[in-house]
Amino acid sequence: MKRFSWDEMMNRYPAFFAIILLVVALTINFILQPNMFARDTLNSNMRVFLPIILLSVGQAIVILGGGIDISVGGIVSIVNTILATQVGLNGSPEKMWTFVFVSIGAGILAGAINGFFIAFLRLQPIITTYATSFLYVGFALFILPNPGGGIPAEIANVYRNTTPLGLPLAFYVIGVVLLVWMYIRSTRYGNYLYAVGGNAEAAYETAVPVTWVLFSTYVASGFMSALAGIAITMLSGSGNAEIGVPMTLTSITAVVIGGTALSGGVGGVAGPVVGAITLGIIQNIISFSRIDTWWETFVKASIIVVALAAPGIINLLRRKKV
Amino acid sequence: MRKFSISPPVAAILLAIVLFLLSGFLPNGYGSDINVAIAQATNIVRLAVFLGVIAAGQTLVIISGFEGIDLSAGSVVTLTAILTYVTVKGEDDKVLLALLISLVVGALIGFVNGLGITFLKISPFVMTLGMSGVVTGLIIIINHGNVSGKVAPIMTRLIARPLSPDIPIPNAIIIWIIFGFLMWLLLERSTFGKHLFAIGVNRVTAKLSGVNVTATNLAVYTLAGALAGFGGFLVVGNTGVVFIALGQPFLFPSIAAVAVGGTLLSGGKGSYWGTMAGAIVLTLITSLLTTMQMPDSVRRMVLGATLLVMISIYGRQRGFRQ
């Protein structure tokens, strides 16, 4: 039998550390909140986590391709304001469906704008999507200058309270996303994506359509941001043009905790999903541990820094022993 | 035949001059009064000083390459501004002590960033993002809702006022010019500067030619932290008040100023003159949009669009075919 090798596990499964972290976080959370696996508690947690999970999946695809997307929160805001103003608190389900599709279209368009500038004009991703994030949040504020509007409570409740076979709706959504990802990963496009993220120059030399692959990652991110926007609108039931802004940096943290390197070409989408759930659980633990409110931000941020540092610390300690 | 090209700092300054001249035609612009025009121009440059100083550290970490960026700059500014505020308590003879504290605290935070980035191999983006959260947590703990303090008269005199009643040049601008000269010495005339550009271009070749990559990298982040700390000291000297969100609005503009000034976000190439020009352009655009009394939504969209146009003109990376 082969001996267990930490290095091999870390190399072969970038999400390995994320899963350990999730198990630790879940255990602590379970001690603090013994009913956390009861159907309603689980559902009320998962429906809060889902928007960030969806956002992290889109972010992960961009990062795998070697880029970064600072505008995802802006796209969430656009979708939220479209739904809150166009469907309205008394809108019909048909109207909701119509504007769900409009929202998805808007997300894809916003992603295509990012992709155009980055892939075709060869601009630097971080500054480009920073610029477009101003465009998108500005546009959301243009649609809805002050918080207000919303979607009907019955429609919001479909998202909040649907638990097929006693499992949260979020589980099914995550399941579908992961299945689609596994399929994409197995196609030629999947290989192209990793090739571009790993070494774009080399990928170009071997006739990979680098420009189109890069472009597609931002479109995918726009699409996932739209889904996240729809989810968070159904969760909150109301409109606010600033709703997506704090979600951007969280999505990037989730991707990195999930073992997908910011340098591109390493990792996957399952890790970031685990990372996003872990971040949510950490927030839960902090709310339940009754630490002084003044200390909450500090404790949470410190836990995240330690989580980010842990793989590096383990590597350093191991290297010393050898 | 030589290809027509224009250096980014020059382009940024030209853009600023054109925009400023055009702004005279606005309904509440300076009109035909040359004195008002000069006063307005001086005031915009004075406001740009703070962004410019905060962006100095950002310039260094970005030149150092390897995805270098400092997302903790905004929260360091807030922290040192608060520390200055509570240390000085309106007394002139405590000002030097407050300046020292600002620099040391900034440097310490930068040093921790550097440790994480060099030894634990955490990507600069997430390391400094995580650090930003920790520092924000510290601010909340120190602040505890409110702080009592006061800036000293001498700070207001040296930062916010003009040189003398006869010479209407604000002291802040003079500080900035001296600061700019020191930055030029550091980047262009010192061994550290040479090593900085060397590791920004290629870490492997830098190492082979005898540059201590780890030490240089650690020094860059420490210095960037100290410079952000200095920025906080200046900002509170100008505003005279502190609040939790004081520094955060400087963060992304500091990155944008570096990019607009022609420093490559991928590292290895850039100048502080460019960043100074970028800071002036960004401050000018922001204040123009404010004087035009545009709604927040339009202001953000115009800012985003301008940024996109500027980086499209000269921020393009090399294509694959070349």
Neighbours of A267 (CB within 10 A): 25
CB B305 within 8 A of CB A135: yes
Taking CA atoms, B152 is separated from A232, B76, B91, B156, B159, in Å, by 47, 21, 5, 7, 11
Q: Which of A142, A301, A315 sits opposite B134 (nearest CB)?
A: A301
Is it the case that residue B2 has pLDDT exceeding 70? no
The full length of chain B comes to 322
For the stretch A218-276, pLDDT in tens is: 999 999 999 999 999 999 989 999 999 889 989 999 998 888 888 788 888 888 999 99
Phi and psi at A147, nearest 5°, equal -55, 140
Taking CA atoms, A243 is separated from A73, A85, A251, in Å, by 8, 14, 14
pLDDT band at A309 (very low <50, low <70, confident <90, very high): confident
Q: How many helices (H) and strands (E) does chain A have?
A: 14, 2
Query: Could you tell me which residue, B275 or B295, shows the higher pLDDT?
Result: B275
- Residue A318 CA to residue B139 CA, distance in Å, equals 35
Restricting to A residues 132-151, those with a Cβ less than 8 Å away from any Cβ of B are 132-142, 145
Phi and psi at A150, nearest 5°, equal 160, -170
**A298·B265 Cβ contact <8 A:** no
In a mutational test of the B interface, the residue from A113, A114, A124 whose CB has the highest number of chain B CBs within 10 Å is A124
- Residue A1 CA to residue A76 CA, distance in Å, equals 49
**A128·B308 Cβ contact <8 A:** yes
Mean pLDDT of A179-204: 88
For the stretch B79-103, pLDDT in tens is: 999 999 999 888 888 899 999 999 9
The whole-number pLDDT of residue B24 equals 76
**B304·A135 Cβ contact <8 A:** yes
Is it the case that residue A322 has pLDDT exceeding 60? no
- Chain A residues touching residue B252 (CB < 8 angstroms): 130
Lowest-confidence pick of A152-156, B71-75, B203-207, B264-268: B264-268
Query: Could you tell me which residue, B9 or B83, shows the higher pLDDT?
Result: B83
- Chain B residues touching residue A253 (CB < 8 angstroms): 126, 129-130
For the stretch A91-100, pLDDT in tens is: 888 888 999 9
Neighbours of A8 (CB within 10 A): 12
Return the percentage of chain B with pLDDT > 70, whole number.
Answer: 93
- Residue A74 CA to residue A107 CA, distance in Å, equals 10
User: Tokens at residue A16, please?
Assistant: 């390995």
User: Tokens at residue B58, please?
Assistant: 């950002």
**Residue with structure tokens 């123009």?**
B288
The whole-number pLDDT of residue A321 equals 63
For the stretch B53-68, pLDDT in tens is: 999 999 999 999 888 8
Mean pLDDT of B284-309: 85
CB B90 within 8 A of CB B144: no
- State the number of CA atoms in the 13 A half-sphere of B194 facing the CB: 8
For the stretch A66-104, pLDDT in tens is: 899 999 999 999 999 999 999 888 888 888 899 999 999
CATH 3.30.1480 fits B33-313, yes or no: no
CB B61 within 8 A of CB B217: no
- Chain B residues touching residue A262 (CB < 8 angstroms): 67, 123, 125-126
Distance from CA of A82 to the nearest CA of B (A): 15
Return the percentage of chain A with pLDDT > 70, whole number.
Answer: 95
- Chain B residues touching residue A140 (CB < 8 angstroms): 297
Distance from CA of A132 to the nearest CA of B (A): 6
- Residue B178 CA to residue A120 CA, distance in Å, equals 41
- The candidate with the shortest Cα–Cα distance to B264, out of B183, B318, B187, is B318
Q: Kindly report the average pLDDT of chain A as a whole number.
A: 88
CA dihedral A41, A44, A49, A51 (to 10 degrees): 160
- Residue A58 CA to residue A54 CA, distance in Å, equals 7
Report the chain B residue with the minimal C-alpha distance to residue A249.
B129
For the stretch A117-127, pLDDT in tens is: 999 988 889 88
pLDDT band at A150 (very low <50, low <70, confident <90, very high): confident
- The candidate with the shortest Cα–Cα distance to A312, out of B82, B27, B153, B121, is B121
Environment class of residue A307 by beta-carbon count within 10 Å: exposed (0-12), middle (13-18) or buried (19+)? buried
Q: Write the DSSP symbol of residue A148.
A: E
Environment class of residue B224 by beta-carbon count within 10 Å: exposed (0-12), middle (13-18) or buried (19+)? buried
Q: Is A131 on the interface with B (CB under 8 A)?
A: yes
For the stretch A9-48, pLDDT in tens is: 666 666 788 888 899 889 988 888 888 788 888 888 888 9
Is it the case that residue A311 has pLDDT exceeding 50? yes
pLDDT band at B308 (very low <50, low <70, confident <90, very high): confident
Of these ranges, A15-29, A50-64, A116-130, B13-27, the one predicted with the greatest mean pLDDT is A50-64
- The candidate with the shortest Cα–Cα distance to A121, out of B279, B13, B310, is B310
Geometric angle at alpha carbon B77, from B281 and A299, rounded to 5°: 135
Distance from CA of A157 to the nearest CA of B (A): 31
Mean pLDDT of B265-292: 88
Environment class of residue A286 by beta-carbon count within 10 Å: exposed (0-12), middle (13-18) or buried (19+)? middle
- Chain A residues touching residue B131 (CB < 8 angstroms): 305
- B55-64 burial code (b ≥16 CB/10 A, e <16): bbbbbbbbbb
The string of DSSP codes covering A24-87 is HHHHHHHHH-TTTTSHHHHHHHHHHHHHHHHHHHHHHHHHHTT---TTHHHHHHHHHHHHHHHT
Taking CA atoms, B71 is separated from A47, A134, A174, B136, in Å, by 30, 18, 31, 12
Taking CA atoms, A215 is separated from A155, A178, A182, A206, B307, in Å, by 34, 21, 20, 18, 20
The whole-number pLDDT of residue A197 equals 84
- Chain B residues touching residue A124 (CB < 8 angstroms): 259, 264-266, 311, 315, 317
The whole-number pLDDT of residue B320 equals 62
Query: Could you tell me which residue, B281 or B28, shows the higher pLDDT?
Result: B281
Angle at which helices B8-23 and B34-63 pack, to 10 degrees? 150
The whole-number pLDDT of residue B1 equals 42
**A138·B252 Cβ contact <8 A:** no
* Domains with residue ranges and CATH for chain A: 47-290 (1.10.3470)
Is the ipTM here above 0.85? no
For the stretch B122-155, pLDDT in tens is: 889 889 999 999 999 999 998 776 777 778 888 8
The whole-number pLDDT of residue B321 equals 57
- Residue B91 CA to residue B153 CA, distance in Å, equals 8
The type of residue at B94 is K
- Residue A13 CA to residue A183 CA, distance in Å, equals 18
